[in-house]
Amino acid sequence: MRGCHSLKEFHVYLLDQYFSMEAGAQAAKFANDFNVTWGKQNVNITSGRRGDVVTLKLTKEKGGAGFRSLSPFLYGQFSMKMKLIKGNSSGTITTFYMSSQDNYKKWCEIDFEFLGNVSGQPYALQTNVYIQGVGNREQQIYLWFDPTAAHHTYRFLWNQELILFFVDNRAIRVFHKATDLGISYLDYQPMYAIGSLWNGEAWATEGGRVKIDWTQQPFVASYTQWNVTDSCKVQNATGTAGQHACYKKAHQSSYGQAPNLALSKTQIKNLRWVRKNYVIYDYCTKNATATPECARNWP
């Protein structure tokens, strides 16, 4: 319970512990849900008390690594516990994201990207939303804790009305469906759950000014207690039957029904708290054409 300084924070802590226990019980084995897609020599999988722990490593000689869910999904909740690189991690990028990946013409993606930092500096988390191949919706925030000291939970809620980003059950970003404003929504393209660690020194730290210090290698991040069970797997990613089944399931599942179709008072308060205290960069202040969607997505 370390770090909880109020009754409200304690309640958030309890919710996170409950969600973590559920994730550990339901998604214990890496091979049941994921496979390694690149950098196999840099992946280590060990069994832990609450399931497998997957460690990714980045070195100058052998590069990084990544893994992907066995199936794509359409709507649901997707969470991962992650512990980031200790010490000087400048130039590295550690990720957990959802991506269509196999459909480049209609590329869709929702991202957690953790940008490496110089030792002693706060970690930056970048989120983004790609729809039909168009991104440019980056938001960066500082995390309010040390993400290298222990595993923390990062979660997406994606349904037919909104996409919510959570850190330890605290809402940090929302993207509402706004087709009435002429803005496309991510409601047609199945996506995979993906994790990776790679060299992003061209832009990751201070816009690429600070490069990777290879004397600090290997750079190591770990993943555990993932949960993709409260979601809909698309059984046939190339046809429409699987997608229609997931649309139907969304309206019958907790993630696609109230209260998950709109922001709660607590989530609104969390989003305002993040905006006031932790935002580094927000595309909404740089792109005048984004004003309609930004007005809807920042309560």
Q: Which residues are catalytic?
A: 109, 113
How far apart CA 235 and CA 238 sit, in angstroms, is 9
Contact 167, 153 (CB under 8 A): yes
How far apart CA 172 and CA 178 sit, in angstroms, is 19
Nearest to 223 by CA among 88, 34, 72: 34
Q: Could you tell me if residue 111 is left (phi over 0), alpha (psi between -120 and 50 degrees) or otherwise beta?
A: beta
Contact 79, 193 (CB under 8 A): no
Give the 3-state DSSP-derived string for the chain, with helices as H, strands as E and coil as C.
CCCCCCHHHHHHHHHHHHHHHHHHHHCCCHHHHEEEEECHHHEEEEEECCEEEEEEEEECCCECEEEEECCCEEEEEEEEEEECCCCCCCCEEEEEEEECCCCHHHCCEEEEEEECCCCCCCCEEEEEEEECCECCCCEEEECCCCCCCCCEEEEEEECCCEEEEEECCEEEEEEECCHHHCCCCCCCCCEEEEEEEEECCCCCCHHHCCCCCHHHCCEEEEEEEEECCCEEECCCCCCCHHHHHHHHHHCCCHHHCCCCCCCCHHHHHHHHHHHHHCEEEEHHHCCHHHHHHHHHHCC
